[in-house]
Amino acid sequence: MTDQEKKYDVITYGRSSIDLYSQKVGSRFEEIPGFHAFVGGSPLNIAVGCSRLGLKASLLSGVGKDKVGDFLIHFLEEEKVITENVPVIEGARTSAVLLGIEPPDRFPLVYYRDNCADSQINIDHVLNAGIEKSRLLEVSGTALNIEPTRSAAFLAAEIARKNEIPVMLDLDFRADQWYDIRAFGITTRAFMRNVNIVLGTEEEILAAFLADKSQLVISHQQISAPEIKGDIDEAIRGILQLGVDALIVKTGSRGAVVYLPDGTVQKVPGFPVEVVNILGAGDAFAAGFIYGYLKGWDWYKCCRMGNACGAHVVTQLGCANFTPYEKEILAFIESRGGF
């Protein structure tokens, strides 16, 4: 199957949720008067981001038989994300997240993921998803936390590799979603054997090699921004030894760094903007990166595109809802001096 014949440019696998963002920036959580109704979940955000960039993006996730599920599907369809791989799971609930916004440094998250639908993606869903018809498979690390999604995700990566489809893992470390935080590293390290590109923040890369629970500290319920102790160089080497093509480290306003197994290290500068909310920036980066990767761009240019998309999102309150469209982001890059 040639790329032109492929049904999907990208399948993103894992979390999807209604994301409820505090409407009062700076308010203590206890006093939030209301929430904007957005959507979220790393793979959902990336699918929307890719779709806005013009790619045929399919989300592989699950929703419950509930109105929140209808809300997600409605949004995805508006965004032209292909939803045929988002089954309605009987007896499970669509994920939800509540987010407080207290810049500069407090963004508490409350996950509603007990018995959630996107964890119920199973082997049959994967077999029916047509992974062999996609040009790339992107998997979220949280999709590996419990069964049945865990085995199903391992199978998805195997199918991709057998069909010579590149696999990207976004580490997506959410500490409270693992029965033992060290299981995150054990499981993602096993998974990386079938991965081409690993994406993560420095904290997430450290989390993938966490040996001692006391290395992790989470303050103010900021699940997406843990503090983790460890040796980042050793962790990076550890990942590169697992057979990946590249490790991309997202370093926030500083841009991204590419690490290759041959020892190459390449810093890719970001685009300076005024930060309103960093949530979703990493997913916008991933979408931009995938856009470039599928065009055959080199690592540097892929990351520049990712950085631009990330920069666009941090100026807004929300994730998928404010990821950029192809024309506007290319114009933005142009306006900032180009790639």
* Interface residue list for a copy of itself (CB under 8 A): 18, 20, 23, 29-37, 66-68, 70-71, 73-75, 93-94, 96, 98, 100, 108, 110, 112, 114-115, 122-123, 146-148, 151, 154-155, 158, 179-180, 182-183, 186-187, 189-191, 193, 221
User: C-beta of 246: minimal distance to a copy of itself in Å?
Assistant: 20
User: C-beta of 30: minimal distance to a copy of itself in Å?
Assistant: 4
Cβ distance to a copy of itself smaller for residue 94 or 224: 94
Rounded to the nearest 10 degrees, the angle between the axes of helix 326-335 and helix 299-314 is 100
Residue with tokens 């929140």: 68
Examine residue 269 and say whether the peptide bond preceding it is cis (omega within 30 degrees of 0).
no
Cβ distance to a copy of itself smaller for residue 147 or 227: 147
Nearest CA to 169 among 193, 135, 202? 193
Q: What is the identity of the amino acid at 188?
A: T
d(CA 197, CA 166): 8
Cβ distance to a copy of itself smaller for residue 68 or 160: 68
Cβ distance to a copy of itself smaller for residue 158 or 326: 158
Cβ distance to a copy of itself smaller for residue 252 or 261: 261
Cβ distance to a copy of itself smaller for residue 230 or 306: 230
Element (H, E) at 70: helix 67-78
User: C-beta of 301: minimal distance to a copy of itself in Å?
Assistant: 32
In this structure, what is the dihedral angle of CA atoms 141, 145, 151, 157, given to the nearest 10 degrees? 0
Cβ distance to a copy of itself smaller for residue 146 or 260: 146
User: C-beta of 182: minimal distance to a copy of itself in Å?
Assistant: 5
User: C-beta of 142: minimal distance to a copy of itself in Å?
Assistant: 15
User: C-beta of 307: minimal distance to a copy of itself in Å?
Assistant: 30
Angstrom distances, CA of residue 332 to CA of 181, 254, 296, 302, 307: 39, 18, 21, 15, 11
Q: Contact, 134 vs 9, CB < 8 A?
A: yes
User: C-beta of 124: minimal distance to a copy of itself in Å?
Assistant: 9
Angstrom distances, CA of residue 87 to CA of 30, 69, 112, 122, 124: 35, 10, 19, 11, 11
User: C-beta of 100: minimal distance to a copy of itself in Å?
Assistant: 6
Residue with tokens 């065009």: 295
User: C-beta of 2: minimal distance to a copy of itself in Å?
Assistant: 26
In a 10 Å sphere around its CB, with 0-12 CB exposed, 13-18 middle and 19+ buried, how is residue 300 labelled? middle
d(CA 337, CA 106): 33
Cβ distance to a copy of itself smaller for residue 67 or 164: 67
Rounded to the nearest 10 degrees, the angle between the axes of helix 281-295 and helix 42-52 is 50
Cβ distance to a copy of itself smaller for residue 148 or 252: 148
Give me the DSSP letters along 220-250: TT-TTS-EE-S-HHHHHHHHHTTT-SEEEEE
